[in-house]
């Protein structure tokens, strides 16, 4: 039968029983009892321990690698170098990834992997790594983006010809790409302005700071198949990467995701899995690879350092007339920082006619940059929201009122071409203005700041299966690693659709053999995209249930409707039958034609953008330059909070990560190009005593294209934080901070300079 499935995901008028409640998460008990298995918790019989040999130099040519002494050590079963992986043509999709995973010809940063060993114990593996002799020709290095852009800078690679410039450059450089997003006429707009504010800003490289280091176990068998267990934000993508980097068929690799101990974008990218497979292939034994914290900080996912410039103008009654940005983002030795996001999203949320953002991405001798919550947007918003704050100050307007006056509404077409449907920015701003925090009295040396943020929210490929078991319970299978509670939210949506208790739906995340492709858990996409897929799957299962009920009653299939867990005759004309509970149909279905099930493979579209505002009170100690966060409120549009506790958790977690980025966190390199703070003692993320409770308000302006009206919520909460704190510091001490982190020495210096003038 080709009847169309209902495509009303929003279900505006549905009375919700489960969505919006706060059940205990499905993975909860395992996580409070120590049972949950994370990447490093997998043990296989006869498993070997792998370990990397890493470069101590930020930039060097590899002259030779001598592995003979390591291979001769008792207990060493395999050693691999880049020679064990297929060479890729420069410029092909996986070339950068294989060169980052294992240096080929050149090392590009302190900590770049040059070889790996597998041995019968970690102790032996450590000894073997020391026995590998690598001869280097050390080359001049460049760590700073501004230095790297100079014509006489050390050139990292001879195959980078800046993309996006016309004509194509005839000489290679360290600038990978230029992007420009513009509309209207900024020159005209600045002429119309009564007030113009412009300034340069700088932010430092920092790290996602997930507590669980990358970890995997791989087992390659003689028939050319591989199994991988790993911590990842996307096991389907990792399978694809392994297949490409090892020249294997996708079908010959099965990847099972473990519980993931934090990713925040950093585990979208595979660093170790292909190496573990190669070691297993060479040793014929399963191999476990677990990174140390030192390796995590030196060789995985830092976030771009940036140098930015912004200019904005407004009339004296508060209308922004023009906005311009120049954005320079570092990316490590390989392109892929996603810097274009900053040019697209930086100003988006304001109703601008004249806007121009130009971005450049630059390679340096630092680890390859990886995604972090709203990749690349927060450093740009750090500047923009301070410029906006300064404009409001100059014309004497309340900063929320100023933003209300310029807030984008439904129907606005952004600089990157999206026309907004219903959006919640204005509601978010109004909610903030009425929040008691906004008007609470401040103490001595205290100040209040606000800042706002926007994130696209993503969709993309997702697959889902639902099996109605013989007792009427349901097993839900989806394919996105759960980073913060998506499993329970998905189970709740399935329960709502089926009209059964959430406790009767068991959500699970399948390995790559069990489902169609799922895009990575990123972009705040999972609850939306997997939600749409599971609703399709559930509706298909319900359709089967109705057909079975029709068979039992011997009536036409379209004479049966499904409501609240029961099949009923669609009208009295169909016949007088007692409603059949799903459990009863399921029990009889095993014999009646097989399990009631539904599956769906979709590319989810129609994600609704997210908007948020942060209000923060700080107290600055003028003698030490230390900033204390006294009060913090996050207000954000969630469309519809499926599980409000999970949504609040995203708001709070994002804000506190931003506190670290604002006040402490930075990569510190020595003159020698070596990372000086590769540990949690010197790379200091916020601890419990650094922050107050984080108050939250969930605004719900539904997205009509999404299940129950939901919007992704994971990324917006990081975007405004650094700017909100900077604005609060300005309010407290009258000094503006143009660089991150706003650590005590920098704040003290700014205070001293201000006192001089």
- Site residues, another protein (CB under 8 A): 22, 24-25, 27-38, 40-41, 43, 121-123, 208-213, 259-262, 264, 290, 292-293, 483-485, 645-646, 648-649, 652-657, 679-681, 685-691, 693-694
CA angle 200, 456, 341 (to 5 degrees): 40
- Beta-carbon neighbour count of residue 172 at 10 Å? 14
User: Beta partners for 536?
Assistant: none
- In whole angstroms, how close is the CB of 282 to another protein at the nearest point? 23
Closest CA to 482 of 648, 650, 614: 650
* Burial tier of 371 (Cβ tally within 10 Å: 0-12, 13-18, 19+): buried
Question: Which residue, 28 or 499, is less far from another protein as judged by CB?
Answer: 28
Question: Which residue, 666 or 705, is less far from another protein as judged by CB?
Answer: 666
- In whole angstroms, how close is the CB of 372 to another protein at the nearest point? 11
Question: Which residue, 146 or 211, is less far from another protein as judged by CB?
Answer: 211
CA distance 357 to 375: 17
- In whole angstroms, how close is the CB of 685 to another protein at the nearest point? 6
Within 209-291, residue ranges assigned H as helices are 235-246, 273-283
Question: Which residue, 30 or 471, is less far from another protein as judged by CB?
Answer: 30
Question: Which residue, 39 or 673, is less far from another protein as judged by CB?
Answer: 39
- In whole angstroms, how close is the CB of 262 to another protein at the nearest point? 5
Report which DSSP code applies to 676.
S
Parallel/antiparallel/unpaired status of strands 48-54 and 287-290: parallel
Closest CA to 733 of 712, 713, 748: 748
Which contacts qualify for 507-511: CB closer than 8 Å, 24 or more apart? 507/26, 507/476, 507/478, 508/475, 508/476, 508/477, 508/478, 509/257, 509/477, 509/478, 509/479, 509/480, 509/481, 509/482, 510/465, 510/477, 510/478, 510/479, 511/235, 511/254, 511/255, 511/256, 511/257
Question: Which residue, 35 or 150, is less far from another protein as judged by CB?
Answer: 35
Question: Which residue, 218 or 545, is less far from another protein as judged by CB?
Answer: 218
Parallel/antiparallel/unpaired status of strands 215-220 and 226-230: antiparallel
Closest CA to 48 of 124, 150, 112: 124
Question: Which residue, 34 or 396, is less far from another protein as judged by CB?
Answer: 34
Q: Which helix (H) or strand (E) holds 196?
A: strand 195-203
Residue pair 399/392 in contact by the 8 Å Cβ criterion: yes
Question: Which residue, 211 or 754, is less far from another protein as judged by CB?
Answer: 211
Angstrom distances, CA of residue 254 to CA of 48, 437, 466, 476, 522:
19, 51, 21, 20, 21
Who contacts 23 (Cβ-Cβ below 8 Å, separation ≥6)?
A: 488, 492, 502, 503, 643
Who contacts 116 (Cβ-Cβ below 8 Å, separation ≥6)?
A: 50, 51, 52, 53, 79, 80, 102, 275, 278, 279, 289
CA distance 748 to 281: 56
- In whole angstroms, how close is the CB of 686 to another protein at the nearest point? 8
- In whole angstroms, how close is the CB of 594 to another protein at the nearest point? 36
Question: Which residue, 156 or 303, is less far from another protein as judged by CB?
Answer: 303
Angstrom distances, CA of residue 79 to CA of 52, 221, 246, 270:
10, 17, 16, 20
- In whole angstroms, how close is the CB of 259 to another protein at the nearest point? 6
- In whole angstroms, how close is the CB of 541 to another protein at the nearest point? 29
- In whole angstroms, how close is the CB of 665 to another protein at the nearest point? 11
- In whole angstroms, how close is the CB of 458 to another protein at the nearest point? 20
Report which DSSP code applies to 716.
G
CA distance 383 to 726: 9
- In whole angstroms, how close is the CB of 684 to another protein at the nearest point? 9
Question: Which residue, 264 or 329, is less far from another protein as judged by CB?
Answer: 264
Question: Which residue, 298 or 433, is less far from another protein as judged by CB?
Answer: 298
- In whole angstroms, how close is the CB of 293 to another protein at the nearest point? 4
CA distance 720 to 384: 10
Residue pair 12/701 in contact by the 8 Å Cβ criterion: no
Output the DSSP codes for 388-444.
Answer: HHHHHHHHT--HHHHHHHTB--TTPBPTTSPBP-S--HHHHHHHHHHSHHHH----T
Tokens matching residue 86: 């297929």
Question: Which residue, 189 or 261, is less far from another protein as judged by CB?
Answer: 261
Question: Which residue, 43 or 749, is less far from another protein as judged by CB?
Answer: 43
Question: Which residue, 353 or 690, is less far from another protein as judged by CB?
Answer: 690
CA distance 593 to 119: 52
- In whole angstroms, how close is the CB of 213 to another protein at the nearest point? 7
- In whole angstroms, how close is the CB of 643 to another protein at the nearest point? 8
User: Beta partners for 206?
Assistant: 303
- In whole angstroms, how close is the CB of 696 to another protein at the nearest point? 8
């Amino acid at each position: 039968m080709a009847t169309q499935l209902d495509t009303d995901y929003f279900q505006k008028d549905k009375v919700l029983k489960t969505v919006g409640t706060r059940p205990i998460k499905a993975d909860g008990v395992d996580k409070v009892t120590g049972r949950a298995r994370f990447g490093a918790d997998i043990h296989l019989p006869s498993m070997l321990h792998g370990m990397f040999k890493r470069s101590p130099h930020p930039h060097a040519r590899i002259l030779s690698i001598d592995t003979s002494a390591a291979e001769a050590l008792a207990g060493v079963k395999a050693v691999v170098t880049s020679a064990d992986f297929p060479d890729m043509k420069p410029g092909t999709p996986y070339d950068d990834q294989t060169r980052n995973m294992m240096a080929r010809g050149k090392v590009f940063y302190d900590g770049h992997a040059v070889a790996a060993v597998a041995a019968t114990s970690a102790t032996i593996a450590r000894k073997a790594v020391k026995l590998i002799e690598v001869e280097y020709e050390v080359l001049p290095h460049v760590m700073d983006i501004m230095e790297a852009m100079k014509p006489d800078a050390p050139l990292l690679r001879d195959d980078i010809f800046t993309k996006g410039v016309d004509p194509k450059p005839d000489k290679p450089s360290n600038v990978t790409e230029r992007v420009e997003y513009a509309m209207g006429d900024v020159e005209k707009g600045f002429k119309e302005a009564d007030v113009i504010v412009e300034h340069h800003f700088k932010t430092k490289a920092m790290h996602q700071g997930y507590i669980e280091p990358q970890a995997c176990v791989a087992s390659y068998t003689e028939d050319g198949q591989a199994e991988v267990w790993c911590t990842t934000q996307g096991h389907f993508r990792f399978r694809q990467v392994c297949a490409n980097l090892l020249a294997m068929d996708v079908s010959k690799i099965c990847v099972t995701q473990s519980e993931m101990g934090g990713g925040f974008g950093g585990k979208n990218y595979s660093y170790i899995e292909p190496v573990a497979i190669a070691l297993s292939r060479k040793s014929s034994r399963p191999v476990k690879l677990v990174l140390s914290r030192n390796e995590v900080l030196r060789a995985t996912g830092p976030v771009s350092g940036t140098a930015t410039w912004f200019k904005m103008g407004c009339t004296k009654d508060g209308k922004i007339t023009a906005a311009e940005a120049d954005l320079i983002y570092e990316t490590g030795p390989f392109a892929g920082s996603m810097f274009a996001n900053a040019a697209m999203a930086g100003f988006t949320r304001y109703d601008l006619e004249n806007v121009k953002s130009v971005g450049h991405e630059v390679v340096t001798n630092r680890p390859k940059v990886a995604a972090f919550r709203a990749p690349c947007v927060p450093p740009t918003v750090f500047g923009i929201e301070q410029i906006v704050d300064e404009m409001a100050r100059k014309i004497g307007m309340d900063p929320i009122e100023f933003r209300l006056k310029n807030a984008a509404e439904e129907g606005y077409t952004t600089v990157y071409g999206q026309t907004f449907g219903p959006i919640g920015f204005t509601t978010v701003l109004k909610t903030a203005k009425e929040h008691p925090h906004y008007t609470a009295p401040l103490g001595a040396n205290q100040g209040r700041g606000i800042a706002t943020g926007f994130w696209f929210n993503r969709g993309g490929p997702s697959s889902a299966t639902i099996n109605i078991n013989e007792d009427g319970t349901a097993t839900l299978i989806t394919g996105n690693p759960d980073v913060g509670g998506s499993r329970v939210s998905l189970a709740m949506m399935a329960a709502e659709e089926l009209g059964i208790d959430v406790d009767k739906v068991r959500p699970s995340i399948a390995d790559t053999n069990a489902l169609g492709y799922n895009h990575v858990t990123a972009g705040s996409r999972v609850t939306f995209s997997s939600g749409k897929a599971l609703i399709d799957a559930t509706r298909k299962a319900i359709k089967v249930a109705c057909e079975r009920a029709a068979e039992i009653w011997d009536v036409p299939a379209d004479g049966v409707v499904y409501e609240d867990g029961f099949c009923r005759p669609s009208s009295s004309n169909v016949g007088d039958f007692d409603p059949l509970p799903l459990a009863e149909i399921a029990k009889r279905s095993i014999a009646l034609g097989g399990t009631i099930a539904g599956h769906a493979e979709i590319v989810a579209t129609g994600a609704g953008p997210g908007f948020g505002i942060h209000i923060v009170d700080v107290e600055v100690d003028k003698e030490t330059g230390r900033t204390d966060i006294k009060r913090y409120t996050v207000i954000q549009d969630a469309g519809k909070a499926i599980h409000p506790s999970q949504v609040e958790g995203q708001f709070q977690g994002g804000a506190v990560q931003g506190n670290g980025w604002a006040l402490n966190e930075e990569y510190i390199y020595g003159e020698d190009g070596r990372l000086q703070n590769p540990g949690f003692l010197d790379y200091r993320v916020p601890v419990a005593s650094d922050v107050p409770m984080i108050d939250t308000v969930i605004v719900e302006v539904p997205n009509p294209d999404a299940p129950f009206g939901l919007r992704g919520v994971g990324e917006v909460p990081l975007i405004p934080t650094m700017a909100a704190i900077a604005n609060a510091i300005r309010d407290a001490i009258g000094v503006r901070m143009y660089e991150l982190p706003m650590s005590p020495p920098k704040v003290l210096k700014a205070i001293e300079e201000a006192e001089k003038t």
